[in-house]
Amino acid sequence: MNLKDRDSLIQKWLVEIKEYIIEQKNTDLNIEEKTADNDLVTRMDKSIEEQLVKKIRETFPEDKIVGEEGYGDDVKDLTGTVWFIDPIDGTLNFVMQQENFAVMIAVYTEGVGQLGYIYDITHDKLYSSTKGDGVRCNGQQLEIPLDLNLSKGLVASSSALMCKDQYPAVRKIGAESLGVRMLGSAGLETIEVAKGNVSAYIASNLKPWDIAPGLLFMEELGMTGTQFDNQPIDLLQNNNIVFATKNAHKDIIDMLEK
Ligand code: 2AM
Ligand code: CA
Ligand code: CA
Ligand code: CA
3-state DSSP of the chain: CCHHHHHHHHHHHHHHHHHHHHHCCCCCCCCEEEEECCEEECHHHHHHHHHHHHHHHHHCCCCEEEECCCCCCCCCCCCCEEEEEEEEECHHHHHHCCCCCEEEEEEEECCEEEEEEEEECCCCEEEEEECCCCEEECCEECCCCCCCCHHHCEEEECHHHHHCCCCHHHHHHHHHCCEEECCCCHHHHHHHHHHCCCCEEEEEEECHHHHHHHHHHHHHCCCEEEECCCCCCCCCCCEEEEEECHHHHHHHHHHHHC
The verdict on whether residue 211 carries a ligand-binding annotation is no
Boundary-marking domain end, from 95, 118, 141 = 141
- Does the CB atom of residue 158 touch ligand 1 within 6 A? yes
Q: What is the pLDDT of residue 67?
A: 98
pLDDT at residue 164 in the model? 86
User: Is 186 touching ligand 1 by the criterion CB < 6 Å?
Assistant: yes
Ligand 1 pocket, 185 CB below 6 A?
yes
**CATH code of the domain containing 9:** 3.30.540.10
pLDDT of 80 > 90? The answer is yes
- Of 118, 141, 164, the one marking the end of a domain is 141
The mean pLDDT of 109-129, rounded to a whole number, is 98
Do residues 80 and 96 touch, judged by C-beta distance below 8 A? no
What pLDDT is stored for residue 166 in this prediction? 87
pLDDT band of 112, cuts 50, 70, 90: very high
- 124, 99: one domain: yes
**8 Å CB contact between 85 and 49:** yes
Ligand 1 in contact with 166 (CB < 6 A)? no
Q: Please tell me whether residues 165 and 201 are part of one structural domain.
A: yes
Residues 161 and 84 in one domain: no
Same domain? For 27 and 133 the reply is yes
Kindly report, residue by residue over 40-58, the tens digit of the pLDDT: 999 999 999 999 999 999 9
Question: Same domain for 195 and 90?
Answer: no
For residue 202, the CA-to-ligand 3 centroid distance in Å is 14
Give pTM, 2 decimals.
0.98
Which domain-ending residue is among 97, 124, 141? 141
Question: Which residue has the least CA distance to atom 19 on ligand 1?
Answer: 205
| Ligand 1 atom at minimum distance from 88 CA | 3
Distance CA 118, CA 72 (A): 19
Ligand 2 centroid to residue 186 C-alpha, Å? 11
- The answer to whether residues 103 and 187 belong to one domain is no
174 shares a domain with 61: no
Q: Are residues 156 and 215 in the same domain?
A: yes
Question: Do both 125 and 201 map to the same domain?
Answer: no
Distance 144 CA to ligand 2 centre (A): 30
Distance 244 CA to ligand 2 centre (A): 24
Q: What angle do CA 22, 23, 28 make, to 5 degrees?
A: 95
Q: What CATH number is given to the structural domain containing 182?
A: 3.40.190.80
Whether pLDDT at 2 is above 90: yes
Domains in the chain: how many in total?
2
Is the Cβ atom of 90 under 6 angstroms away from ligand 1? Answer: yes
Instruction: Identify whether residues 62 and 175 lie together within a single domain.
Output: no
Instruction: Say if residue 156 is in the same domain as residue 133.
Output: no
Q: Is 86 annotated as a binding residue?
A: yes
- Euclidean distance between CA atoms 90 and 159, whole angstroms: 13
Q: For residue 13, what pLDDT is reported?
A: 98
Q: Domain limits at 249?
A: 150-257
Task: Dump pLDDT digits (tens) for 236-249.
Answer: 999 999 999 999 99
Asked if 107 and 40 sit in the same domain, the reply is yes
The answer to whether 56 is annotated as binding is: no
Rounded to whole angstroms, the Cα distance separating 101 from 87 reads: 10
